[in-house]
C-alpha cells in the first residue's frame, strides 16, 4: 500500500475548518512511536523507517515499515503495518535481532475522515501542532497522482497552504534535528 501524505503546521481553528469542510471526527488518542535503527543498513541514508507504535486508548501496538519518499513535495511512500499484541515483546525481539531504539515521538492525535481522506491533528511533544492529510492507494502512478491532487486541493481549501509549503520531514527527523 502507498500512503500519500502532506503535513503542515497547525493553527487555532483548524479543527473547526475540518468539520465545516465535511470531515467527521473519529477519535482522539495518545501515540508513542519508538523508532529503530537497523543493524544491516542506515535508514537515514536509505530514507526508510521502522517503528513500533503504542496507542494509549486501545492498548494496541503496531509495527510499521516506511519506505523511501517517492516525491520531493509530499511524504508519499510505501507503508506496511501489522498489529502486534505485545508491544514490549516486539521491542525486545527487535533489540535481540540487533535493532536499536533511536528515538521516541509522543503525540496527542485527533483523527478525522472525509471519504478516503484521513486528517490527523497532532500535538507533538517538543515540536508543536501539525495537520497531516493522507490517502492510502494502490501502487499505480495514476492512483498516486489523483490522491496527491486531492490532498493538495483539500490543504488549499483549509488554508493550510500549497503543496510547496508542506513539511516533508517526518516527526522522527524533526525530533532528531532538534536534539542535535
The grid cell for 116 is: 478516503
Domain limits at 155? Answer: 2-179
DSSP 73: S
- Residue 101: phi and psi, rounded to 5, are -70, 125
Instruction: Return the CATH number at 167.
Output: 2.40.320.10
Element (H, E) at 129: strand 128-137
Q: Please give the Cα distance from 32 to 53 (Å, whole number).
A: 6
Which of 58, 149, 168 lies closest to 109, judged by CA? Answer: 58
- Supply the pLDDT for residue 102: 95
pTM score of the predicted model:
0.92
Kindly name the residue from 35, 65, 112, 171 that is annotated as catalytic: 35
CA atoms within 13 A on the CB side of 63: 13
Number of domains in the chain: 1
- If one counts every other C-beta atom within 10 angstroms of the C-beta of residue 74, the result is 23
In contact, 76 and 3? CB cutoff 8 Å: yes
Dihedral, CA atoms, 154, 160, 163, 166, nearest 10 degrees?
A: -130
- Supply the pLDDT for residue 140: 85
The grid cell for 75 is: 511524504
Which of 115, 51, 108, 123 lies closest to 82, judged by CA? Answer: 51
Mean pLDDT by 10 residues, the chain (180 residues): 95 97 96 96 95 85 95 90 93 97 96 97 97 93 92 96 93 87
- Supply the pLDDT for residue 60: 81
Distance of CA 61 to the CA centre of its chain: 15
- If one counts every other C-beta atom within 10 angstroms of the C-beta of residue 15, the result is 16
Look up 65 and say whether it is catalytic: no
Amino acid at each position: 500500500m502507498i500512503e500519500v501524505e502532506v503535513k503542515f503546521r497547525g493553527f487555532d481553528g483548524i479543527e473547526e475548518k475540518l468539520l465545516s469542510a465535511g470531515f467527521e471526527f473519529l477519535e482522539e488518542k495518545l501515540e508513542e512511536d519508538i523508532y529503530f535503527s537497523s543493524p544491516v543498513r542506515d535508514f537515514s541514508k536509505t530514507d526508510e523507517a521502522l517503528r513500533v507504535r503504542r496507542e494509549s486508548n486501545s492498548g494496541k501496538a503496531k509495527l510499521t515499515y516506511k519506505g523511501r519518499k517517492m516525491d520531493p513535495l509530499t511524504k508519499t511512500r510505501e507503508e506496511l503495518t501489522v498489529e502486534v499484541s505485545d508491544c514490549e515483546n516486539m521491542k525486545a525481539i527487535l533489540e535481540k535481532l540487533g535493532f536499536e531504539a533511536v528515538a521516541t515521538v509522543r503525540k496527542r492525535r485527533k483523527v478525522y475522515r472525509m471519504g478516503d481522506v484521513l486528517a490527523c491533528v497532532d500535538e507533538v511533544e517538543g515540536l508543536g501542532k501539525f495537520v497531516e492529510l493522507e490517502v492510502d492507494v494502490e501502487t499505480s502512478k495514476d492512483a498516486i497522482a489523483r490522491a496527491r491532487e486531492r490532498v493538495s486541493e483539500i490543504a488549499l481549501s483549509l488554508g493550510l497552504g500549497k503543496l510547496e509549503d508542506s513539511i516533508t520531514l517526518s516527526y522522527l527527523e524533526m525530533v532528531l534535528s532538534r536534539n542535535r
